[in-house]
């Protein structure tokens, strides 16, 4: 996507928040902005994440990668909370719920990255911290080679552990959403964690295989997500 297109998107976004939608698609968002207390910043930050993809395909460290994950996915969590709502009797502060939504977005994007390593490599992109690859004696060429080695497995274990850490942070606020929103929130959280399980089941081969969760497993996960949504206390996921 060209910088000019993204600039135009940002102009239209500003118009939406001023109540001046350009077309029917913009009108739908303008209506949402009118009905819910949405902040424009996460929307603008998401566009900035798209700009990053036009000029950057390597990340020197996790700090850089975290910023990218915030722009393209953490923002979605921040956009969603005003629409999903916070329970009046929430056991954590509103800021705590927003933080949890942010962390869910970070965990989801880290999982997307780990799932899509092979596909991204085929496009010449490596969304993995370069310094951490080096700590395990790995380089871009090892990613492009498509060979799963013991070094790669150990590296992947660390990356999966980090993604699960963010899901645990997200769990703190998942049950503090408005009652109608808790089940969808938990479903998203558990589904993405299952993708990490699938990577492990593939013996950490995300270079030539794309981890996925089958329909049956998704359906079987829903009752668990519903049960989790009934608890108002923070849950640490195993």
pLDDT tens, position by position, 152-186: 999 999 999 999 999 999 999 999 999 999 999 99
Does any domain span residue 75?
Answer: yes
Residue 228 CB contacts under 8 Å (≥ 6 apart), including other chains: 174, 175, 186, 190, 235
What does the pLDDT look like over 21-58, one tens digit per residue?
999 999 999 999 999 999 999 999 999 999 999 999 99
Q: Which two tokens stand for residue 96?
A: 């705590």
Residues 19, 52 share a domain = no
* 51 and 6 in a common domain: no
Residue 61 maps to which CATH number? 1.10.600.10
Percent of the chain with pLDDT over 90: 94
Could you give the angle at the alpha carbon of 185 between the alpha carbons of 38 and 87, nearest 5°? 65
Burial label, 176 (beta-carbon count in 10 A; 0-12, 13-18, 19+): buried
The closest alpha carbon to 113, from 154, 178, 58, belongs to 58
Q: Do both 89 and 30 map to the same domain?
A: no
What single DSSP character describes residue 23? S
Specify the 3-state DSSP secondary structure of 68: helix
Domain extent for 160: 41-230
Q: Is the pLDDT of residue 235 over 80?
A: no
Structure tokens at 86: 């916070």
- Longest alpha-carbon distance in the chain: 56
Asked if residue 179 and residue 74 are part of one domain, the reply reads: yes
Query: What is residue 75's predicted lDDT score, i.e. its pLDDT?
Result: 98
Do residues 187 and 171 lie in contact, with contact meaning Cβ atoms separated by under 8 Å? no
Q: Is pLDDT at 227 greater than 70 in this prediction?
A: yes
Structural domain includes residue 25: yes
């Amino acid at each position: 996507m060209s910088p000019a297109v993204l600039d135009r998107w940002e102009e239209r976004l500003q118009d939406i928040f001023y109540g001046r939608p350009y077309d029917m698609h913009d009108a739908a968002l303008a209506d949402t902005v009118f009905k819910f207390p949405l902040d424009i910043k996460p929307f603008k930050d998401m566009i900035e994440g798209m700009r990053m993809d036009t000029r950057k395909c390597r990340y020197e460290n996790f700090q850089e990668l975290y910023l990218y994950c915030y722009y393209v996915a953490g923002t979605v969590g921040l956009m969603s909370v005003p629409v999903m709502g916070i329970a009046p009797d929430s056991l954590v502060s509103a800021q705590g719920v927003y933080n949890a939504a942010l962390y869910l977005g970070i965990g989801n994007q880290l999982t997307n990255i780990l799932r899509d390593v092979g596909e991204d490599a085929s496009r010449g992109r490596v969304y993995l911290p370069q310094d951490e690859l080096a700590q395990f004696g790995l380089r871009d060429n090892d990613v492009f080679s498509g060979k799963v080695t013991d070094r790669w497995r150990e590296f992947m274990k660390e990356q999966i552990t980090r993604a699960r850490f963010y899901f645990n942070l997200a769990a703190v606020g998942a049950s503090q959403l408005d009652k109608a929103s808790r089940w969808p929130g938990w479903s998203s959280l558990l589904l993405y964690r299952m993708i990490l399980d699938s990577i492990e089941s593939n013996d950490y081969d995300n270079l030539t295989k794309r981890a996925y969760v089958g329909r049956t497993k998704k359906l079987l996960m829903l009752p668990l997500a519903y049960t989790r949504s009934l608890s108002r206390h923070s849950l640490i996921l195993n």
